[in-house]
Structure 1
C-alpha cells in the first residue's frame, strides 16, 4: 500500500539568492514536504519505528536550508536527495521551497519551486 505523510509550513530564515544583499540580509522561506511510503504497519503497532519520523524530515530541511545556495532550485534538490537517501521506505517525494518577498522588481508575495521524485 502507498500512503502519504506531509510536513507543511516549515518556516525558516535563510540566506539564499544571487544578490549580495540576499547573502548578507537573508529572507523568509517556507518548505513543504510530501513523502509517499507504506506505513500500514503503524496502523496496528502504533510505533514510530513503523512510520516516517516527522522530526527527521524537519531536520533534513533545516540542515539543507542552512547551507547557502544561489538558487532555491539547488537547495530543493539537495533536500530531495537527502530524503531519498535517509528516509527508509520512501517511494516518492515532493519538496516545495517558497521564497517570500523575492527581490524581483515588483510586488510579488513569493516564488516557489517544486522538486518531485
Structure 2
C-alpha cells in the first residue's frame, strides 16, 4: 500500500453559493491523497503490469498472485494491462476536469473529485480531498475556507508544514 499525493494544485474557478462568486471566480488550492495497492511495482518499474509475466516471476520463487494479494480480473484482457500504482498526472487531469464544472457547494465539488478518482482507478483503497477557497467574500479578512471529503479507507502520513 502506498499514498500518492498531489498538494497545492492551484486553480482559478467559478464555485460558490452566491451568483457573483460563480461570475467573478476565485482562487482555489486543492490537495488530494490516494491510498492504493502498489504491490505490483515490485515486479515492474512501469505504470502497468502483465499479470501473466508477474505470475511467471512469482512461480520462479515458489509464490503465487494470491500470496501477494492480487486477484485476477473476470475480464482477462484487463490482466494484460493492470495498473501498478496511481498515475498522479491522471489524478491531476481528473481534478482539473472537475474544477472546470461550477458548483454551488464546495462539499459537492470535493465529493465529485473523490468519486471520480475512486471510479477511475481499480487499485484505490481510499481518497482524501481537501479544497481551500482563498479569501472567501465574507465581509472580513479570511485567508481561506476549506472543506474535506474522504472515500474508502485512507491513512495520510502527516509531515511538517
Question: Which structure has the larger Rg over C-alpha atoms?
Answer: 2
Give the match for residue 122 of structure 2.
88
Gaps of 5+ in 1: none
* Structure 2 residue 14 is the aligned partner of structure 1 residue 15: yes
* Structure 2 residue 107 is the aligned partner of structure 1 residue 73: yes
RMSD (CA atoms) = 1.0
Give the match for residue 74 of structure 2.
none
Give the match for residue 25 of structure 1.
24
Structure 1 length as normaliser, TM-score? 0.94
Q: Distance in 1 between matches of 2:17 and 2:11?
A: 18
TM-superposed deviation, 1:20 = 2.0
The size of the alignment, in residue pairs, is 116
Tell me which protein shows more strand as a share of its residues: 1
Structure 2 length as normaliser, TM-score? 0.69
User: Over residues 57-113 of structure 1, what are the superposed CA-to-partner deviations in whole Å (9 max), with x where a residue is unaligned?
Assistant: 001111111000011111111001111110121001100111001011221100111
Q: Distance in 2 between matches of 1:31 and 1:43?
A: 30
Gaps of 5+ in 2: 49-83, 152-161
TM-superposed deviation, 1:44 = 3.9
